[in-house]
Amino acid sequence: MILEDETKSSQYKLVTLALTWQDAQYYCRLYYTDLVSVMSLSANEELMMILKANDVSAAWIGLYRESWKWADGSSIPFTLWSPQQPNNDNGSQACVYMQGGSWNDWNCDTKFNFLCEEIIEETSSESTFSLTSGQKTVVKVMLLTNADLADKSVRQRVLRQVRVNKKRRFKAGLFLLL
Ligand SMILES: [Ca+2]
């Protein structure tokens, strides 16, 4: 299987469980790809409409402070803070929720609904393999890439790409040996 540059599309998933930011991220990573990264005004509007349509006022998004970055490690081409935000009130606001389409930094332990995204990545050479329960399959992958595989976020994306199969998701230990 050769993983090459792929076209990428995101599907947004609103989860109406109230969880802390960290638990929300865990949930998104388990069932989808990650908490949502909002990379454009149009994506932000789409998410705002999802919240509105579901009558949810506020939901965690993937942005957090460690110098601000998205949960999946992406850079920040776009922000839409509410007025006077981010204010890091009491020095304890390191996570971000969306409300009415704009963003506020907030205490990560607060429980909100949250927005996940599922990234569907199409590889040019589609692999097909099937797993039955209890079966162990070793998949050898040859990577043709200029990406920096020493970078943790790049490795996570590669593993996700291996893991995400439109029809079938298998929970297994995935290791990338360099
Ligand atoms: Ca705030």
Residue of 161, 62, 178, 167 whose CA lies nearest to 121: 161
Residues near 70 by Cβ (< 8 Å), separated by ≥ 6? Answer: 37, 62, 63, 76
Q: Is the pLDDT of residue 20 over 70?
A: yes
CA of 27 to the centre of ligand 1 (A): 24
CA of 97 to the centre of ligand 1 (A): 9
Within-domain flag for 150? no
Confidence of residue 130 (pLDDT cuts 50, 70, 90): very low
Within-domain flag for 127? no
Confidence of residue 67 (pLDDT cuts 50, 70, 90): confident
Q: Report the CATH number that the domain containing residue 80 is assigned in CATH.
A: 3.10.100.10
Within-domain flag for 48? yes
Residue 62: phi, psi to the nearest 5? -80, 0
Q: Partners of 124 in the beta sheet?
A: none
The whole-angstrom separation of Cα 178 and Cα 157 is: 15
Provide the pLDDT for residue 145. Answer: 65
How many structural domains does the chain have?
1
CA of 13 to the centre of ligand 1 (A): 24
Q: Express each pLDDT in 79-98 by its tens digit.
A: 999 999 999 999 999 999 99
Domain that holds residue 74: 9-117
Provide the pLDDT for residue 118. Answer: 94
Within-domain flag for 49? yes
| More confident call, 69 vs 3 | 69
Confidence of residue 173 (pLDDT cuts 50, 70, 90): very low
Residue showing tokens 């050769």: 2
CA of 88 to the centre of ligand 1 (A): 5
Residues near 60 by Cβ (< 8 Å), separated by ≥ 6? Answer: 19, 21, 24, 35, 95, 96, 97, 98, 112, 113, 114, 115
